[in-house]
Amino acid sequence: MNSFPFISVIIPNYNEIQYIENLLLSLKNQKYAKDLFEIIVADNGSTDGSHEKAKQYADKILANLVGTVARIRNIGAQHAEGDLFAFIDADCTVESDWLMNASFLYNQGYRVFGCKVDVPVDAGWIEQTWFSQRHNDDRQVPYINSANLFIGRDAFFNINGFRDDLVSGEDWDICDRLAKRGYSVRSNPAVKVIHMKNPKNIIAFMKREIWHGVGGFQSLKKGDLDKVTISTLIFLFFTIFQIIGLVFHKQIFILSSIIVVILVSLAGSYNAFRYKICNKLIVLIFLYYFYFLARSISMLYGYKKLLFK
């Protein structure tokens, strides 16, 4: 076991009393040698008792931290001793071979890797549809979600960690910067995790995407136009024309509505075929409408803050 890496599991926490104990218990039940990993909980000022609960299991507790989740993760990394950092959210759980499989990948030369989160067995229709958009094989990808992201220590500090000014989207940003430094970003289902706190209805789904969209707006401000940002701008533009047309001109409303339908249909169809979930095509198209609507709201909110700050 001497050739196996020492792994630092870094968990940002804010009022996750409902979930964090299950995660910590799943980490304590790892098949990986107990002296080859540490559990670090970086707490962002929790008031629900989750900080106290974490003390029963974690090796290090960093309390009363302030800032974005990116900053909280960075502070956790600064206190970590591992060769490999495992970033995971407090509302997840892992299989008993999660760290063992991660160590195998690390020894094969992987330095930036992980896997999109999976859903629990009792997941609702939104969870089952939205989170089925994932590959189930080993491949290079643009980014890994920071709810389940492994980064080698040297790679992490070579780029100074996460951008702690980003409210969201810090995972996309760090993977993008690592890729530009020559690191291969890999997705591998051997290190999948289960995400427990997923949206159960459309309102919760939109709230989640509005929050994620704030990071997209910050990327837009610095000139990074990815596919999601471009698609959101198109959706927002023609949704505004829908409203104008509804009030002033029927033909403008019809034309803009057709374009919006085409956009969400293309997004849903592309991902249905890409991830081989064609049986969920109609529901996926339906969800993409609310996805782009939520992202548009976050963009408008971002512009409002920019104009009136």
Domain annotation for the chain: domains and CATH numbers: 7-195 (3.90.550.10), 202-308 (no CATH)
Q: What is the 3-state secondary structure (H, E, C) of the chain?
A: CCCCCCEEEEEEECCCCCCHHHHHHHHHCCCCCHHHEEEEEEECCCCCCHHHHHCCCCCEEECCCCCCHHHHHHHHHHCCCCCEEEEECCCEEECCCHHHHHHHHHHCCCCEEECCCECCCCCCHHHHHHCCCCCCCCEECCCCCCCEEEEEHHHHHHCCCCCCCCCCCHHHHHHHHHHHCCCCEEECHHHCEEECCCCCCHHHHHHHHHHHHHHHHHHHHCCCCCHHHHHHHHHHHHHHHHHHHHHHCHHHHHHHHHHHHHHHHHHHHHHHHHCCCHHHHHHHHHHHHHHHHHHHHHHHHHHHHHHHC
Using pLDDT thresholds of 50, 70 and 90, give the confidence band for residue 1. Answer: very low
**What pLDDT is recorded for position 3?**
86
Average pLDDT over every residue of 228-251 = 91
Measured N-to-C along each axis, helices 170-180 and 202-221 cross at an angle, to the nearest 10 degrees, of 40
Has residue 72 got a pLDDT over 50? yes
Has residue 15 got a pLDDT over 90? yes
Using pLDDT thresholds of 50, 70 and 90, give the confidence band for residue 213. Answer: confident
**What pLDDT is recorded for position 216?**
61
**What pLDDT is recorded for position 301?**
73
Has residue 181 got a pLDDT over 70? yes
**What pLDDT is recorded for position 308?**
43
Has residue 174 got a pLDDT over 70? yes
Summarised one tens digit per residue, pLDDT across range 16-57 is 999 999 999 999 999 999 999 999 999 999 999 998 999 999
Radius of gyration, CA atoms only, the chain? 20
Has residue 223 got a pLDDT over 90? no
CB 82 within 8 A of CB 153: yes
Average pLDDT over every residue of 253-276 = 95
Summarised one tens digit per residue, pLDDT across range 274-297 is 999 999 999 999 999 999 999 999
pLDDT more than 70, % of the chain: 93
Summarised one tens digit per residue, pLDDT across range 96-140 is 999 999 999 999 999 999 999 999 999 999 999 999 999 899 999
**What pLDDT is recorded for position 225?**
64
Rounded to the nearest integer, the mean pLDDT of the chain is 91
**What pLDDT is recorded for position 140?**
96
Does the predicted TM-score (pTM) go above 0.75? yes
Instruction: Compute the distance between CA of residue 30 and CA of residue 184 in angstroms, rounded to an integer.
Output: 27
